[in-house]
């Protein structure tokens, strides 16, 4: 192990300022300090023991490589990037493992508990009801108490509830555990997606938010690669061990996230990354004042309507993805898992791409293009019923999967500013959550009534086209 990495102390990990070796050069807050003397990594690292916390190796190394050693933002790279990549880990845990892994586990869990497709759809709906309840409240709590505390508590709840899901023996207990997981997911995902608004200026906000959303794709990829093997190895109870694995992983890594997260640049003595920006000043945020400011912003209501369409349409596709391939199209679970993993692989960087697109074209046209691409993936999945078609659909969906959440998170920050961004995103997530709660239940009912998932996927495509049209009401550009 290189000496520079081995010597990284807890001071660096915990975000304390490193001792300066030279006098700081003049630079703007948040700048990269191009005019300052470049210090070697060895100079930047104080002596001390390597942080032993399990799972911290990746972020520890990242902190060493990206740490901004000057109080005012001069040095290597701004701490905003550590926030963004820590946010990636949060979305892997909360969204990738906490929510999306259900699609992979669903077929074996259904057989183990002797459930109908309507029931498994309702279990999914239970998760989204929990998500809906805490998404809006979690955003306001984060605005009041800070993203760091709220996200950490939420991840601990998710980890425990995932472990308990493995012990369920009935529809009712499974519904309850997924409901609790949804509560934790809503109060973790919404604040972390809004956090870049507090660290990046508007013209960089889509990119920062895209990096955070990339964790969803990583979680999907890991679920598709790892969980089918775990389920097969443990036989009829394999789905239980899959839940245990997800829960333990989320619980342990929640402490790593807490170690690196910070609520705003002021906690590090920095300004926004990307330059200066007029920030809304005001009294201390309360739940009532935040609510009042959010509901009086017209653009927030438009964003909510656009977000509803995404919540309703994408969740039908993902919830029944593996079940459709295995039960209706007769693919082996391992092959279905590989297709799901490919989807996750291509979705890893889609948030970065679509965040950049929305920074360049504006949130309106970014959302329009994303919805049309999603609709295409649903139509292909419904009609091109062979392995090639399934992979094509998965790739197309993957490169666009988290486009709308990324654009909506950035647009919320645009509309109400970084201070109220968690509350704004939480409010429009109310619309998103209603769509998610309706989608799986209706999709499962369509399958039981018609004997095929085809009509459910076509419904997703139609709603996505409607979402593209509604996107045209969004504001073209934000100042």
Token couple for 130: 């929990």
Is the pLDDT at 67 greater than 90, yes or no?
no
Report the CATH fold assignment for 80-265+286-473.
Growth Hormone; Chain: A; (1.20.1250)
Tens digit of each residue's pLDDT (9 = 90 or more) over 289-315: 666 677 777 888 889 999 999 999 998
Q: Which of 5-19, 319-333, 366-380 has the highest mean pLDDT?
A: 366-380
- pLDDT of amino acid 332: 86
> How many whole angstroms from its chain centre is CA 474?
23
Work out the average pLDDT over 71-82: 65
Alpha carbon distance 169, 217 (integer Å): 30
Cβ neighbours around 178 below 10 Å, total: 27
- Number of residues that this document lists for the chain: 479
Nearest-angstrom CA–CA distance, 242 and 248: 10
Percentage of the chain exceeding pLDDT 90: 29
Which of the four pLDDT bands, split at 50, 70 and 90, describes residue 276?
low
pLDDT band of 476, cuts 50, 70, 90: low
Q: Rounded to whole angstroms, how far apart are CA atoms 297 and 281? A: 17
Q: Is the pLDDT of residue 33 over 80?
A: no
User: Does 410 or 365 have the greater pLDDT score?
Assistant: 365
Q: What average pLDDT does this structure show over 321-339? A: 86
Rounded Cα distance between 153 and 155, Å, is: 6
pLDDT at residue 140 above 50?
yes
Phi, psi of 240 (to 5 degrees): -65, -45
- Please give the residue that has the higher pLDDT: either 310 or 263: 310
Give me 387's structure tokens: 């392995």
What pLDDT shows up at residue 37? 37
318 vs 475: which has the higher pLDDT: 318
Q: What is the mean pLDDT of residues 312-336?
A: 88
Q: What is the DSSP letter of 267?
A: G
pLDDT over threshold 90, residue 134: no
pLDDT score, position 32: 41
Find the range with the poorest average confidence among 6-15, 132-141, 419-428, 470-479. 6-15
Average pLDDT over residues 276-301: 65
Report the candidate in 342, 388, 351 with the shortest Cα–Cα distance to residue 370. 351
The residue ranking higher by pLDDT, 46 or 358, is 358
Identify the weakest region by mean pLDDT among 1-5, 167-171, 403-407: 1-5
Band (pLDDT 50/70/90 cuts) for residue 39 is very low
**Range ranked top by mean pLDDT from 26-35, 267-276, 406-415:** 406-415
User: In the predicted model, is pLDDT for residue 271 greater than 60?
Assistant: yes
Mean pLDDT across the chain, nearest whole number? 78
**Range in 109-113, 276-280, 470-474 with the lowest mean pLDDT:** 276-280
Q: Is the pLDDT of residue 216 over 90?
A: no
In degrees and rounded to multiples of 5, residue 381 shows phi and psi of -65, -35
Predicted pLDDT at 349: 81
């Amino acid at each position: 192990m290189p000496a520079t990495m081995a010597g990284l102390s807890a001071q660096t990990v915990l975000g304390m300022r490193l001792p300066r070796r030279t006098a700081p050069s003049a630079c703007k807050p948040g700048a990269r300090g191009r005019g300052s003397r470049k210090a070697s990594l060895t100079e930047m690292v104080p002596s001390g023991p390597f942080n032993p916390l399990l799972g911290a190796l990746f972020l520890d190394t990242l902190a060493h490589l990206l740490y901004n050693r000057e109080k005012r933002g001069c040095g290597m790279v701004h701490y905003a990037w550590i926030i963004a990549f820590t946010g990636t880990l949060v979305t892997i845990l909360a969204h990738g493992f906490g929510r999306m892994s259900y699609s992979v586990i669903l077929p074996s869990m259904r057989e183990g508990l002797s459930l109908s497709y309507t029931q498994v759809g309702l279990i999914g709906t239970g998760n989204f009801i929990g998500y809906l309840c805490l998404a809006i409240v979690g955003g306001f709590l984060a605005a009041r108490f800070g993203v760091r505390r709220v996200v950490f508590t939420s991840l601990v709840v998710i980890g425990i509830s995932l472990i308990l899901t493995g012990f369920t023996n009935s529809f009712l207990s499974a519904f309850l555990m997924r409901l609790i997981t949804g509560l934790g997911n809503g109060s973790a995902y919404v604040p972390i997606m809004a956090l870049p608004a507090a660290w990046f200026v508007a013209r960089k906000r889509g990119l920062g938010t895209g990096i955070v959303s990339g964790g969803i794709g990583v979680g999907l990829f890991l679920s598709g690669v790892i969980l089918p093997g775990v389920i097969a190895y443990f036989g009829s109870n394999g789905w239980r061990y899959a839940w245990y694995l997800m829960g333990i992983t989320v619980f342990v890594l929640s402490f790593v996230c807490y170690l690196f997260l910070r609520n705003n640049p002021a906690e590090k003595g920095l300004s926004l990354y990307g330059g200066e920006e007029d920030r809304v000043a005001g009294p201390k945020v309360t739940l009532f004042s935040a609510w009042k400011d959010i509901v009086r912003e017209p653009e927030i209501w438009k964003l909510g309507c656009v977000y509803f369409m995404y919540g309703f349409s994408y969740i039908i596709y993902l919830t029944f993805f593996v079940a459709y391939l295995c039960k209706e199209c007769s693919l082996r679970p391992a092959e279905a898992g590989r297709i799901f993993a490919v989807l996750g692989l291509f979705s890893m960087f889609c948030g970065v791409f679509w965040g950049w697109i929305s920074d360049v074209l504006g949130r309106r046209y970014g959302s329009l293009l994303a919805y049309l691409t999603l609709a295409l993936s649903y139509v292909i999945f419904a009609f091109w019923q062979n392995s090639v078609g399934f992979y094509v659909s998965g790739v197309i969906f993957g490169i666009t999967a988290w486009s709308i959440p990324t654009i909506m998170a950035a647009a919320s920050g645009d509309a109400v500013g970084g201070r109220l961004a968690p509350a704004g995103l939480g409010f429009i997530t109310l619309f998103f959550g209603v769509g998610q709660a309706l989608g799986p239940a209706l999709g499962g009912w369509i399958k039981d009534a018609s004997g095929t998932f085809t009509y459910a996927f076509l419904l997703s495509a139609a709603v996505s086209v409607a979402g593209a049209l509604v996107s045209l009401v969004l504001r073209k550009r934000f100042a």
